[in-house]
Structure 1
Amino acid sequence: MHFALAVFIVIVVWARGVWREWSTFHHTMMFFALGNVTYNFITANYFLWKMKPDIFPNHSITELVYTFVIFPATALLFLAKYPVTPKKIVLHNLIWIAIYAGFELLFFVCGRMVYQHGWNLWWSIIFDITMFPILRLHFKRPLMAYTISVFLCIFWIWMFHVPVNVPIENRGG
């Protein structure tokens, strides 16, 4: 399913012609990838959700496909056709939140995604409600998006008791 999603989103990016605009949105595409890498690094021993591999040999390869194909393509699709009127902006965000929730529900039902440590689909939807506007904010005001993202990351770590072990170096002496 993960491979099928990757192929599908690449086809959609190509068919809609938004691939031509990749350089305009490149920074935000990489911001999205950085967010996923950060999640996987911080929660390496305490995943809140985890993709179960299908065609790919393991979780790490599956996450690399999400990090470097699916999520940047999502950012490109989301931003390339971003509307200008407030009603259309709200609708645009709601559509993308529903798309993400729908795919996640499908993956969960099919056993391709598991939740742990109190996370569930509802928390994912709340996360998506913040994620999509932050993608747009990053495109317009990157520093503000990074700042807000740090605070949101701290909130999620605190909310779900994610253990963050900071090793103290032995400096001798």
Structure 2
Amino acid sequence: MINSLYGLSWLAILFIWGDWKNWKRYYPTILFFILGDFLYLYLLSDEYPMWRYAPPAADKDLGLTNTHISLSIIAIKYPATVLVYLSHFPQGKLLSKVLYYFGWLILYLVNEMIDLHFGLIDYFNGWSLWWSAVFNAVMFFILKVHFEKPIYAWLLSAIFIIFLWNRFDVPLRVFR
């Protein structure tokens, strides 16, 4: 139920503020965003998770799992995020760019705090709300970079993944 509300909220955000009429312009960055989560799901989600979504009882009764919730986020929240975040990114002064960027960080952080409060997400292997905030800060920066200069985003992502991999001592067994 709660996941349906999240999905509907992000769809509303998409249709109210998103540049969905020009979705093709943002499509490569949407795919880039989605690929990152697919890599996490494939490599870490089962073997060495940092976080997992915990469906509430009503959703569990319907058979929903972490994977179902992750796929709904990938299908709805990520495209909506890209189509709104990038289409409204300020062009002018640095201060407005920084405030806009931090607004998105706060939005994602509040979303995760709500999830934590209601037991909809669990952390593992040293991950925390603090690490989610750091991750989101890097993620939103890299999404903007990808939109403008994709090759730099790939390089920055590789560096950040290597950093996280070492910081969280991810075992090689995740490569299955």
Q: TM-score, normalised by structure 1?
A: 0.91
| 1:24-65 CA distance string (max 9 Å, x none) | 111101111011111111213111111112436111111111
Return the offset for 1:147.
1.1
Q: Which amino acid aligns with 2:123?
A: Y
Return the offset for 1:17.
5.0
What is the distance in 2 between the residues matched to 1:33 and 1:53?
21
Change (3 A) 1:162 1:17: closer
Partner residue of 1:127? 135
What is the distance in 1 between the residues matched to 2:18 and 2:156?
31
Paired residues of 2:101 and 2:140 also in contact (CA < 8 A) = yes
Structure 1 window deviating more from structure 2 (6-15 vs 47-56): it is 47-56
Paired residues of 2:142 and 2:153 also in contact (CA < 8 A) = yes
What is the distance in 1 between the residues matched to 2:18 and 2:133?
28
Partner residue of 2:164? 156
Change (3 A) 1:149 1:53: same
Q: Where in structure 1 do 4 or more consecutive aligned residues deviate above 2 Å?
A: 53-56, 164-167
The 3-state SS of whatever aligns with 1:80 is coil
Paired residues of 1:42 and 1:164 also in contact (CA < 8 A) = no
Which runs of no fewer than 5 residues in structure 1 stay unpaired?
168-173
Q: TM-score, normalised by structure 2?
A: 0.90
The 3-state SS of whatever aligns with 2:127 is coil
After superposition, residues 4-23 of structure 1 pair within 5 angstroms as 4-23=5-24
1:98 to 95, 106, 117: 106
After superposition, residues 54-133 of structure 1 pair within 5 angstroms as 54=56, 55=59, 57-84=64-91, 85-133=93-141
| 1:114-143 CA distance string (max 9 Å, x none) | 111111101110111111010000000001
The 3-state SS of whatever aligns with 1:144 is helix
The count of corresponding residues between Structure 1 and Structure 2 is: 167
Q: Which amino acid aligns with 2:77?
A: I
The 3-state SS of whatever aligns with 2:172 is coil
Partner residue of 2:36? 35
Q: Which amino acid aligns with 1:76?
A: L
What is the distance in 2 between the residues matched to 1:40 and 1:17?
26
The reply to whether residue 50 of structure 1 matches residue 52 of structure 2 is yes
- The two structures, once aligned, show a CA RMSD in angstroms of 1.4
Structure 1 window deviating more from structure 2 (16-25 vs 146-155): it is 16-25
What is the distance in 2 between the residues matched to 1:25 and 1:92?
18
The 3-state SS of whatever aligns with 2:126 is coil
What is the distance in 2 between the residues matched to 1:51 and 1:3?
14
